[in-house]
Chain A
């Protein structure tokens, strides 16, 4: 089971590191994608575009650092829950937008797939977090 947990942790860490760095390639483009969801004024979309990628990167690194791992999992949970809520909101309003999950490279227009992916990641986070908590006792 240790190996399974390690693999899940690697996948989660890589997913957020890759997503963060891809978004940082072009924060302008990511800001446009965030703004497309029509939930935030432009200045906030721009702020999210420069901040969220770093939050993803720090969370992705944090899960490997014992002193902050719990906080990193907390961030994962918060971000993934937020992403899922935004995607559900977009689908419910019938918006035809890109998910922007990985910074706009390729086709990211299937929001339903984005929700499923985030739910799987969320399950992985819950698993690793639970294991970490058990060892931390």
Chain B
């Protein structure tokens, strides 16, 4: 095979690869489900949509980071209550439910709540949960 032909293929591949950077940057900046760049390094936890979280079922442990009253009123079926204010007493419930391999999806009340992010960070840092995401829009967003 001629060397010039291989060079041409590589150049064509490079052109395609460079062109692909443009929409990728667009996705990174504009996509509603774009990954957070600082996540996983102690920064924000990645958010996923309800649809994506459902895609992961049945290997998901739902963690409800809302208050007791809110949890008792209604929650996602099978969710574990892990309110940060009662972290020490509730953590065992989570550990009983989580098998060490499942994806953990934390949620709190509304889209702008921070409890799920906070609980997710603690689970990541203190318990070593690696596969953990936060439900975008929280409980309110999950309701039709």
Q: Which residues of A contact B (CB under 8 A)?
A: 24-32, 35-36, 41-43, 45-47, 49-51, 53-55, 57-59, 62, 67-75, 78, 96, 104-106, 133, 136
Contact = CB atoms under 8 A, between A and B. Distances in A.
B105 to A, nearest CB: 11
A25 B33 contact: yes
B35 interface: yes
A70 B33 CA distance: 33
Query: What is the interface of chain A mostly: helix, strand, loop, or mixed?
Result: helix
How many of chain B's residues touch chain A, expressed as a range? Answer: 35 or more
A36 B133 CA distance: 12
B134 to A, nearest CB: 10
Contact of B13 (A26, A29, A78): A78
B131 A32 contact: yes
Interface in B33-65: 33-41, 46-49, 51-52, 55-56
B8 A70 contact: yes
A106 B1 CA distance: 42
A104 B46 contact: no
